[in-house]
Structure 1
Amino acid sequence: MEADLLAHLSDPARGLRGKLTPNADLAKVTWFRTGGPADLLFQPADEEDLARFLALLPEEVPLTVVGIGSNLLVRDGGVEGVVVRLATKGFGEVAAFGGERIQAGAAASDKRLAAVALEAGLGGFHFLHGIPGSVGGAIRMNGGANGVETADRLVEARALDRSGAVHTLSRAEMGFTYRHAEAPEELIFVSALFEGPQTDPAAIRQAMAEVEHHRETTQPVREKTGGSTFKNPPGTSAWREVDRAGCRGFAVGDAEMSAMHCNFMINRGTATGHDLEALGEEVRRRVFQSSGILLEWEIRRIGRFVPGREVEGFRP
């Protein structure tokens, strides 16, 4: 099927301008540097190209969208069907306008959005300076830190559905909750409109410096990691419960819960997707035994297990 699909989509008559790569190595695009290949990877040239591709893609072909790979665990068996990855060239522009608003492409980094907000003197974006992700990911998971969330700044988001049709969702229509948006999973976010109050740039700079200092001194930012592994449970912090369960520095193979920040998994060198997911599920089990709290994954896990190397999700 993959060969037929590639031939179908690669036909010049189809008019696609983006890059199609069969058997694409996804380990290269994830911060963990692990995982199997995508059956087919498509990197669209721009929104029009993506819409054309979606209209051409048969409905029965599985479709997965990935960002810059900072909060992503790809399983070792790879990802079935098509993986779409938006590039900064076609989806990375960020521009301030209208006094208090910023338009940002989904592939723009959170850090770039924070920088443009600083240039425009718009407050409330400093938290993004410390999140190693993209605007699309921030929208999809209501990314946040330091007491501020994407939901606090978003005006509306623009997305394409599986057929390539355009949808514009208001903040209310996004259905934001903690680290989650209720927007349909089939939607591919391509850009978003944000707003923030006019603020003294010196105050913004100070807030961003504090975010940077906190990140540099408390998180393993120079390791192969995926950021926060688990969502914070109500009334406590995930790292605190992981620590109480004795899992700081706990390892499975070359996958380890960081001794520096024990809600961060790190790949010490040769960890596989299996090692990382098995570590996370064992930590969930130990935390539940320790405190009765069932941690929820914050890291997104996609793809197939290698037969015989499945990881069973912990259930009390």
Structure 2
Amino acid sequence: MGLCAAQGAGCAGRAGVSELGSHLADPALGLRGKLTERADLSKITWFRTGGPADLVYQPADEADLEAFLKALPAEVPLTVVGIGSNLLIRDGGVPGVTLRLPAKGFGEVDATGKGRIRAGAAASDKRLAAVALEVGLGGFHFFHGIPGSVGGAIRMNGGANGVETAERLVEAVAYDRAGDRHLLSRADMGYSYRHADAPEDLIFVSALFEGPAAEREAIRAAMDEVQHHRETVQPVREKTGGSTFKNPPGTSAWKEIDRAGCRGLRIGGAEMSALHCNFMINAGEASGHDLELLGETVRRRVFETSGILLEWEIKRLGRFEPGREVEPFRPS
């Protein structure tokens, strides 16, 4: 057996975690990033819940990320997380290594001229919108309303207020599991609504965006409108993960949730917001189990009411605690 058990089981207990940690900390590998054992992921998720990661690695820069990926044994599960805004970590924690790109090394946002901006994957979407305002580029205002990182927006074609990342992206830089670098064009990404066809093992580190010249007053007005919309119709001051489900074709997720009588529905400390019922919130001391069970209950009730099978927009990661598994709803 290798350093970790195969097939996603993660490190074999504390001994396996320590063995893997010792391997990655070997000075001969030359890694310069930060390695943390049994890291508390609840501190980074906006839900403020979930179990620990076996190991978390934060690379120092792109070259360090490449070296880390080449040093990581192939059998070790690797999970990539961003700033934790639309992320649900299960209570049993995350096996193997969790990779988190830090702002230092991956968070720069710079205007390159000719209507283009290059942004690191760890930069916030709000920062990208702010730089576009500074240099007078239009079409970036919607990023002001996405509470996430550039890497997440690239991966899932993040959008708001009727605009999507696909409309602004020129190309993206990513590394695969083996540490090889890739440059992907907009066409290579295979974008559709809240989805990209790019291989799941790609780790995005930066992207180049472009937009038309615009008056700063108009850009600021559009950003203010986005902010006003968020603050009036979304529970932005709650512990939430943003939109829980993707909008089905021809309708809105919140309308179907409301029609199914799930506005304000609560399981344990988890609740579908009464303000915007496609937002799931940690209304108390919700566990990851509470939140995921609530989501699957809503999916079942919506299907029973309208025949629509809602698709999760929030990413769910990690292991269930034994005896507290949540079965995904599947129509019979």
Measured against aligned partners, the alpha-carbon deviations of 1:167-225 in whole angstroms (never above 9, x if no partner) come to 00000000001000010011100000000000111111110000000000110000000
Alignment of 1:99 with 2:118, yes or no, is: no
Q: Percent identity?
A: 77
Counterpart in the other structure of 1:34? 49
Runs of 4+ more than 2 Å apart: none
Aligned to 1:142: 157
1:300 aligns with 2:321: no
Render the CA deviation track for 1:287-313: whole Å, top value 9, x for unaligned.
011111000000000000011000000
User: In the alignment, residue 264 of structure 1 is paired with which amino acid?
Assistant: F
Alpha-carbon distance in 2 for matches of 1:73, 1:156: 28
Q: Which residue of 2 aligns with 1:207?
A: 222
* Offset at residue 247 of structure 1 (A): 0.5
Name the CA distance, whole Å, in 2 between partners of 1:269 and 1:283: 19
1:28, 1:51 → 2: CA distance?
A: 27
Q: Match of 2:313, as an amino acid?
A: E
5+ residue gaps, structure 2: 1-15
**Stretches of structure 1 lacking an aligned partner (at least 5 in a row):** none
Whether 1:85 and 2:100 are equivalent positions in the alignment is yes
Distance 2:292 2:161 in 1: 27
Separation in 2 of the partners of 1:58 and 1:11?
14
- State the distance in 1 between where 2:274 and 2:30 align: 51
1:171 alignment counterpart? 186
Aligned-pair CA distance for 1:269:
2.0
Q: Which residue of 1 aligns with 2:31?
A: 16
TM-score, normalised by the number of residues in structure 2: 0.94
* Distance across 2 between alignment mates of 1:25 and 1:40: 10
Partner of 1:237: 252
1:14, CA displacement in angstroms? Answer: 1.3
How many residue pairs match? The answer is 316
Note if 1:162 corresponds to 2:205. Answer: no
Q: Quote the residue 1:71 is aligned against.
A: 86
Distance 1:121 1:24 in 2: 41
Distance in 1, matches of 2:150 and 2:213, equals 21
| Alpha-carbon distance between aligned partners in 2 of 1:291 and 1:87, rounded to the nearest angstrom | 43
Partner residue, 2:67: 52
CA distances 1:27-59 after superposition (whole Å, capped 9, x unpaired): 011000010111110011111111110000000
Whole-Å Cα distance in 2 between the matches of residues 145 and 138 of structure 1?
A: 11
C-alpha separation in 2, matches of 1:241 and 1:17: 49
Corresponding residue SS for 2:133: helix
Q: Give distance in 2, aligned partners of 1:120 and 1:99.
A: 11
After the TM superposition, which of the residue ranges 8-17 and 123-132 deviates more from structure 2?
Answer: 8-17
What secondary structure sits across from 1:180 in the alignment?
A: coil
Is 1:247 matched up with 2:262? yes
**SS at 2:138 equivalent:** coil
Q: Structure 2 counterpart of 1:247, which letter?
A: C
